[in-house]
Amino acid sequence: MSELATLEARSISAWFGDRKVLDRVDLTMEAGKVTALIGPSGCGKSTFLRILNRMHEMIPSASLAGEVLLDGEDIYSANRRLTAARREIGMVFQKPNPFPAMSIYDNVIAGLKLTGTRASRDEKDLLVESSLTKAGLWKEVRDRLRQPGGGLSGGQQQRLCIARSLAVRPRVLLMDEPCSALDPTSTRVIEETMLELAHEVTIVIVTHNMQQAQRVSDNCAFFLAAQGTPGAIVEQGDTKVLFESPIDPRTHDYVNGRFG
């Protein structure tokens, strides 16, 4: 198991064309903790999350400034390969996206091919079992590993995507509203999975659900984009403190449902 990693964003600004969407965001996402990014739609949370594993640069008009440090090393530095950043910093999206025609087993090990990792049949079997177990899915699917991933329920598909991300042994797992398309039962299972995973992987989650942020995160960052200005962090810190005694009145209004 790899050592827990701290992820640090320094002075991150981002643009789509000439429209600035983030302005000088500084945030330390502590090793082995869950950091929640909260704030209304359109304030740059998902853009920020994508910057953390170099997905932002895939958009033709996108650009950014600043640094993203994984254990003190900038993932954007010229001598770091994109695949290395993606392997160390995994991503789970809002909508479950397993490879539908591929078996559950092959879905889990799909990342090995992409990262050029060789493994024997026994190693793959072990990896599939451990990844599905960590994602809270093993007991439900162990008798049908050869069936297509697309045949699972929405909540199971999302956990399969988590297992697929974990199989390449990332040090950080980014989750972009992973429960927004799911029913309450599936949401609860994924939240439990997150809490268990935090001991071995640093987690950063974007969520619009304030109760979820309180349930799963250790630290919280509140993003806001005032009329016509780029998104920025208004307040950040311990989740309990941020919700119960925020410093900024805008944070108080947001976490208490006054806007957003």
Is residue 154 assigned to a domain?
no
Is residue 28 assigned to a domain?
yes
> CATH number for the domain including 31?
3.40.50.300
CA distances for 158 relative to 104, 136, 207, 248, angstroms:
12, 11, 15, 35
Residue-level pLDDT at 123? 96
Number of structural domains found in the chain: 1
Q: Which domain holds residue 41?
A: 7-97+172-255
Q: Are 39 and 223 in contact (CB under 8 A)?
A: yes
Is residue 128 assigned to a domain?
no
82 contacts: CB under 8 Å, gap ≥ 6: 54
Residue-level pLDDT at 179? 95
Tens of pLDDT, residue by residue, the chain (260 residues): 568 999 999 999 999 999 999 999 999 999 999 999 999 999 999 999 999 999 998 999 999 999 999 999 999 998 888 888 888 999 999 999 999 999 999 999 998 887 778 899 999 999 999 999 999 999 999 999 999 999 999 999 999 999 999 999 999 999 999 999 899 999 999 999 999 999 999 999 999 999 999 999 999 999 999 888 999 999 999 999 999 999 999 999 999 998 87
Is residue 181 assigned to a domain?
yes
Phi, psi of 139 (to 5 degrees): -60, -30
Query: What single-letter DSSP state applies at residue 181?
Result: T
Amino acid at 219: N
Is residue 88 assigned to a domain?
yes
Place of tokens 């947001």: 254
Residue-level pLDDT at 2? 62
Q: Are 167 and 138 in contact (CB under 8 A)?
A: no
CA distances for 32 relative to 11, 69, 120, 150, 188, angstroms:
23, 16, 30, 31, 20
Is residue 106 assigned to a domain?
no
Is residue 116 assigned to a domain?
no
Is residue 146 assigned to a domain?
no
Q: Are 8 and 28 in contact (CB under 8 A)?
A: yes
